[in-house]
Amino acid sequence: MSQALFWAVTLTLIRSLGVCLMCTLLAVSVLPTLSKQGLIRRVWWLLLLPIFMPPLVMGYAYSNVALSLIRHPLLNDLLYSLLLMMRFFPVTLLLLHMAPAAPLSPTALHNLKLGRLPRWRCYLTHGPGRLLAMASAMVFVLCFTEFEITSRMGCTHWTIWLFDAQVGGAPLRSTLVWLLLPLSVSVLLLLVVLIAIPRRDERQHLTITPNIQHLHLRSAGLIAWWLLSMLICLIIPWWWVLKPAIGAMPTVIVQQQIWLEIGYTAMFAILATSLIWMLMLLCRRLPRWTIWALCLPGLAGSLVVGLVIMSLFQTKLFNGLYDTPLPIVLALTLIALPAGLLLGPVLKEQSSSTHMTWLTRLSLDKQHQRLAKHLRWQQQVRGICLLIGILLYITYHDLPASALLSPAGMQGAVVRLYNLMHYGKYETLSAMVVMTYMLPPMLLGLLLLILRGRKLPDYE
């Protein structure tokens, strides 16, 4: 085992622990505002916007800042940790907000304390501590397997070390041996998530009831944090990318190569999303442990999946399919499959109002039928479109597995951008970044506007 890899894993471990602890503490402190404050309860989804900032664009935007801090690695590492905290804090908040109830109620926990059981043991094994452990472990894995931002900021990270070793000519067998150490850390934390999730179906929030004054202070803190995260994660990065890209855009937009590469990336994403959707339909009635087993490869990180798929298709049995789109589509499927299996039941959840909408469609009145179609869009189709958009986002923006498995002559735009970013920031590259990352969401947004353009029928 390489000493440099051990040092990179150690630093990544310390950084990820710090980020996940800070995210959990902040999420617990502001969690009551999501259900108590009227305005935040209606627009809380705005907190999720930093998650959808392409991480490679964020790293590209801050690459010059990281270069200016090359003599101050600690400050650079703190900046990188702050970006991770801004990016993954909404994930922690969302996990705690939508998590099932703790196994035991506060009254039952109090009775256990009266029975002289250790306080922390009751809290962690039977109380809200299980939910906090689940959210912290999940965010830890996201930080521990992050690749795109750190690749541009030059921080010590095991994913960068391992990726550089593989593309630098290290034997694949040695890379897989080196992979065992970080992979064991990720799997251990994922097992914590699996064990910590309560087995109850009802969704309740953590029982935190601050007084009104504290609630207003927490709401103000949450709004301030959201504004700061929007500034650091969205406004500043896109401004630094868009400003130099404007002048070079007329030259880049007529280049056939960039359009072809965007098409390859979109094709791989669409194929993987379609395969994920079919797997979701097949997995609807599988037991819980089977679904988690299917999620483990993707949750272990894109680099892990890419290396394992690469080793699989270099064997004699599958070597003939190595230069085809099959390896990359299979890798993207495994990477985004956890999002489909875990978010799918939530976004497509059935309710009594859904059943009433279905009954309304049986009416012979045409106005009732049109009303039922509109309500079906509001209740089901919108959630399905959101899920498809999330799957397309994950598969389109993936970098490590795509860089390892892209077929010859079919290199995606994201991989080419990553290779060109090694030569610094310049106007043409910024224009290519804008085209690659802004064109797909603009097309999806236009499609959603067309679908939402159907007006609600007048109902007397």
Lowest-pLDDT choice from 13-27, 131-145, 441-455: 441-455
Lowest-pLDDT choice from 143-152, 218-227, 302-311, 362-371: 362-371
Tens of pLDDT, residues 281-297? 888 777 777 887 888 88
Q: What percent of the chain has pLDDT over 70?
A: 76
Cα separation, 405 vs 79, in Å, equals 31
Cα separation, 310 vs 126, in Å, equals 42
Architecture field, domain 253-423 = Orthogonal Bundle (1.10)
Q: Is the pTM above the cut of 0.85? A: no
Q: In the numeric block, which tokens belong to residue 38?
A: 């009227």
Cα separation, 137 vs 341, in Å, equals 18
Report residue 100: phi and psi, to 5°. -65, 170
Q: Where are the beta strands (DSSP E) in 182-301?
A: none
Question: What pLDDT band is residue 328 in, cutting at 50, 70 and 90?
Answer: very high
What distances in angstroms separate CA 383 from CA 162, 344, 356, one per listed residue?
38, 9, 18
What distances in angstroms separate CA 242 from CA 64, 185, 427, 434, one per listed residue?
15, 38, 9, 7
Residue holding tokens 């509109």? 374
Is 50 exceeded by the pLDDT of residue 352?
no
Tens of pLDDT, residues 29-69? 888 787 666 666 677 778 888 888 999 999 999 998 998 99
Is 90 exceeded by the pLDDT of residue 357?
no
Higher pLDDT pick, 281 / 415 = 415
Is 70 exceeded by the pLDDT of residue 279?
yes
Lowest-pLDDT choice from 33-47, 131-145, 359-373, 395-409: 359-373
Q: In the numeric block, which tokens belong to residue 211?
A: 């007084």
Q: In the numeric block, which tokens belong to residue 449?
A: 């506007």
Question: What pLDDT band is residue 199 in, cutting at 50, 70 and 90?
Answer: low
Q: Looking at residue 269, what is its pLDDT?
A: 93
DSSP SS3 for 128: coil
Is the distance from CB of 413 to CB of 269 less than 8 angstroms? no
Tens of pLDDT, residues 70-82? 889 899 999 999 9
Q: Which of 223, 187, 131 is nearest to 301 (CA)?
A: 187
Cα separation, 284 vs 440, in Å, equals 30
Q: In the numeric block, which tokens belong to residue 146?
A: 């992050």
Q: Looking at residue 201, what is its pLDDT?
A: 46
DSSP SS3 for 44: helix
CATH class of residue range 1-200+212-250: mainly alpha
Amino acid at 205: H
Rg (CA), the chain: 23
Q: Which of 443, 446, 336 is nearest to 390 (CA)?
A: 336
Task: Give me the residue spans of the domains in the chain.
Answer: 1-200+212-250, 253-423
